[in-house]
Homo-oligomer: A and B are copies of this chain.
């Protein structure tokens, strides 16, 4: 991939850029200008663009780690013998991650429009989550009319939560997720309007 190895100083700079980008995007969202990232990394803009030809590229690499972290969470949940707990864990953890990282969901749609790698990851996530749903429903814990499309719904809703401080946001998100998980239980389930497929690309501004 990165065939010709970078000079040592360049490699260090590249790493610093990514580190700064991760922190900054997490704290302030994807709206931060490239020049600001460059400034914080103590570099010129040109350097930044030499490593990451476009802002999307930078965002994509900056969030790659969290991407696989998500996949890891799913695998862990799939290994859990208790289906309801597994389901809750995934929803809770993904939402917590989203609440922690301001740019996370935006990165999802803005940075990986249709790279093969991303599509594969998404495909796997969908199938894994569908499996979790099936198990939890078969165990009688999750309501029968819960739909795969309800996960994007939860993520969209959770993505809307933005309180003042990071802590406040995290708290608010936790409470929302707790509410939602209670309504996902099979017990008192009353009728619902039908689910809606949500096209990911138009979902987030």
Partner-B contacts on A (CB < 8 A): 29, 150, 153, 156-164, 168, 171-172, 174-176, 178-180, 182-185, 187-190, 192-199, 202-205
Contact = CB atoms under 8 A, between A and B. Distances in A.
A161 B196 CA distance: 11
A184 B179 contact: yes
Contacts of A194: 171, 175
Contacts of A172: 153, 156, 196, 198
Contacts of A161: 153, 156-157, 160
A177 to B, nearest CB: 9
A161 B176 CA distance: 14
Nearest to A188: B188
A176 B156 CA distance: 10
A98 to B, nearest CB: 10
A203 B153 CA distance: 20
Contacts of A182: 183, 188-190
A184 B182 CA distance: 9
A176 B178 CA distance: 14
Contacts of A175: 150, 153, 192-196
Contacts of A198: 163-164, 168, 172
Contacts of A179: 150, 180, 183-184, 192
- Residue from the set A184, A194, A198 with the largest chain B CB neighbour count within 10 Å: A198
A154 to B, nearest CB: 8
A89 to B, nearest CB: 16
Contacts of A193: 171, 174-175, 178
